Structure 1
Amino acid sequence: MLLAALTALFMALGYTLGGSGGAVIALLVAAGMNLFTFWNADRIVLSMHNAREVDAASAPDFYALVQELAQRAGLPMPRVYVIDQDAPNAFATGRNPQNAAVAATTGLLSMLSREEVAGVMAHELGHVKNRDTLIMTMVATVAGAISMLANFGLFFRGGEREGHGNMAASLLAVFVAPFAAMIVQMAISRTREYGADRAGAEISGNPRALASALAKISGAAQAIPNPVVERNPATAQLYIVPTHVSELFSTHPATEKRIAALQDIAADMGAPAAPPTAMQRTSALSPAAPARRSRSALDPNGR
């Protein structure tokens, strides 16, 4: 329904401006730009974050965890990356499950327990399984076309000859359409987050662990500077939690609402009534890790 609304908005803008030729050009250019980004998104995003790929030798616990979750989800093993960054966050990228990659920051790995990291990575694999990268590329294509058409709207005035256009309607469309497209795009992104939360809960089998992880990292992600987002604000929509608080203009639902939804899912699944204890949360991925360890051994730097 949201994709249909976005498409209808594009058609209405084209009709109001009367530039059918300009509308087609805008759509083709936007589609070309977004298809290029879609095809190369994983390399672009990972390069922006200076992510380093890890394997069973360099990060055995983290890699094995992702491998186990991918098997549960029935997905091909994605490439696994670690980002040396204090801000706790994670994301998935790649044009399809066969070319997917998942990444987590060292800040996230050192902050969460094994169960919580499993919930976070299951969420990211949920994005892969739901093919959200494809959906968001389609959304970006139409939204990009709307913005382009609005920017050049005053130059495509063919509709005036046909009696469709007038200056007031054109100006209204030029200013309102991109804003409306942004709102619809955010609404679609929010629904994909809820979908990935549910998929992650099913993959990990522990929705309360994911809820606990969201509660832990949400505040820290907003408080700890993220240099990548500061340089490229558009990257904020990649992460599992937002990097700034603005419910109206955020690409993510409110964390409290996501946690409440996960609690409902847990009740439906008959999951354990509470997340792991404080002692369990400080334990490493390896069950033989010493109890005195205060940081998770998921941190590949061994901090």
Structure 2
Amino acid sequence: MNYVRTGLLLAGLTALFGAVGMMIGGQQGMIIALLFAAAMNVFAYWNADSMLLRMRGAKQVDDRTAPELVSMVRELAQNAGLPMPKVYVIDNPQPNAFATGRNPENAAVAATSGLMQLLDRNEIAGVMAHELAHIKNRDTLTMTITATIAGAISALANFAMFAGMFGGGRNENNNPLGGVGMILVAILAPLGAMLVQMAISRTREYEADKIGAEICRHPMWLASALNKLDKGVHAIPNMDAERNPATAHMYIANPLSGKGVDNLFSTHPSMSNRIAKLREMAGAPQSGAAAPAKSGPWSGAAKDRRVRRRPWN
């Protein structure tokens, strides 16, 4: 059902683009704006992963520098039927993680130092499984397509603003509202595109939770992790994400200092809704805090809570 919803939202975004383009510049203006936006996003598609990792100061780890974390990701990738992604650690106190890469063959997962300090071994496995689910579902490709169309709408909106302010000439024939209509389109069209982008992002998070729970085989591991992350991200700001909020949708938890509610202007579903769905998958009661499973391939190292081994030590 989430795939159908994502497809419908993409179709709606495409229809919005077509309508705005025809109103402003006819077929020629629509094609020019699309080509311009596509060129920018093709560059981003091939380079955004490395650019993002550099921006966040991510350091790649391997079997020598973080053997347990890398081994965990390798086993989860095998469960998911995926190639082994690159693994990165980011020195940031806010607990969070994200996945990037244009396809499963060129993918990476990154976790912050704050996440690894806050969560136990099973919970980290749940988070890594969620990020691998994004890779498996090719969500980065979906968001690239979305960004291309939204970028084209923004380009058309900028043209509409200038046309509305300085006179639309023959383009007003395509817009029955004239200059006022051009300005309205310039304001409302990007807003509509942003809302659709956020709706798609929220839909993909629900799906990644579901597939991630299947990959790690314990929905309660991820539910327990989300419960802790919900508190952690609100307590500790992520200044890197605040300076560049356009990448907020990539994280497992919204890194921005906003309200974690499931509304039109949120890039993520509310944590309570996500946890409830995972508890339902596990057949657990819907009240009380999420608790990690008692057994599993990584639970042995977490039995003694007095000394908790970490996969990055």
TM-score, scaled to structure 2: 0.86
Alignment check: 8 A CA contact 1:81 1:102 kept: yes
Partner of 1:71: 78
Q: 1:178 to 1:132 in 2, by over 3 A?
A: same
Alignment check: 8 A CA contact 1:17 1:157 kept: no
Alignment check: 8 A CA contact 2:227 2:290 kept: no
> In structure 1, how many angstroms separate the alpha carbons of the residues matched to 2:185 and 2:290?
51
Aligned pair 1:171/2:183, yes or no? Answer: yes
Kindly state the Cα deviation for residue 102 of structure 1 after the two structures are TM-superposed.
0.3
Partner of 1:208: 220
Alignment check: 8 A CA contact 1:17 1:165 kept: no
Deviation larger for 108-117 or 238-247: 238-247
Alignment of 1:1-303 (within 5 A): 1-153=8-160, 154-155=162-163, 158-161=170-173, 164=176, 166-243=178-255, 244-246=257-259, 247=261, 248=263, 249-267=265-283, 275-276=291-292, 287=300, 291=304, 293-294=306-307, 296-298=309-311, 300=312, 302=313
Number of corresponding residues: 291
> In structure 2, how many angstroms separate the alpha carbons of the residues matched to 1:150 and 1:11?
12
Kindly state the Cα deviation for residue 110 of structure 1 after the two structures are TM-superposed.
1.5
Partner of 2:5: none
Amino acid at match of 1:254: S
TM-score, scaled to structure 1: 0.89
Kindly state the Cα deviation for residue 240 of structure 1 after the two structures are TM-superposed.
0.1
Amino acid at match of 1:259: I
Kindly state the Cα deviation for residue 192 of structure 1 after the two structures are TM-superposed.
0.5
What RMSD in Å do the two structures reach over aligned CA positions? 2.3
> In structure 2, how many angstroms separate the alpha carbons of the residues matched to 1:275 and 1:290?
13
1:30-63 residue CA offsets vs partner (Å, 9 max, x unmatched): 1111111111121011101111111111101100
Provide the secondary structure at the position in 2 that maps to 1:42: helix
Alignment check: 8 A CA contact 1:143 1:182 kept: yes
> In structure 1, how many angstroms separate the alpha carbons of the residues matched to 2:38 and 2:112?
32
Amino acid at match of 2:30: A
Structure 2 gaps of 5+ residues are 1-7
Q: 1:158 to 1:135 in 2, by over 3 A?
A: farther
Provide the secondary structure at the position in 1 that maps to 2:88: strand
Amino acid at match of 1:42: D
Amino acid at match of 1:120: V
Alignment check: 8 A CA contact 2:175 2:182 kept: no
Q: 1:29 to 1:135 in 2, by over 3 A?
A: same
Provide the secondary structure at the position in 2 that maps to 1:81: strand
Sequence identity percentage: 55
Alignment check: 8 A CA contact 2:121 2:301 kept: no
Aligned structure 1 segments of 4 or more residues deviating by more than 3 angstroms: 154-159, 161-165, 285-296
> In structure 2, how many angstroms separate the alpha carbons of the residues matched to 1:128 and 1:214?
19
Q: 1:289 to 1:57 in 2, by over 3 A?
A: farther
Kindly state the Cα deviation for residue 293 of structure 1 after the two structures are TM-superposed.
4.3
Kindly state the Cα deviation for residue 188 of structure 1 after the two structures are TM-superposed.
0.4
Kindly state the Cα deviation for residue 83 of structure 1 after the two structures are TM-superposed.
0.8
Provide the secondary structure at the position in 1 that maps to 2:87: strand
Provide the secondary structure at the position in 2 that maps to 1:104: strand
Provide the secondary structure at the position in 2 that maps to 1:58: coil
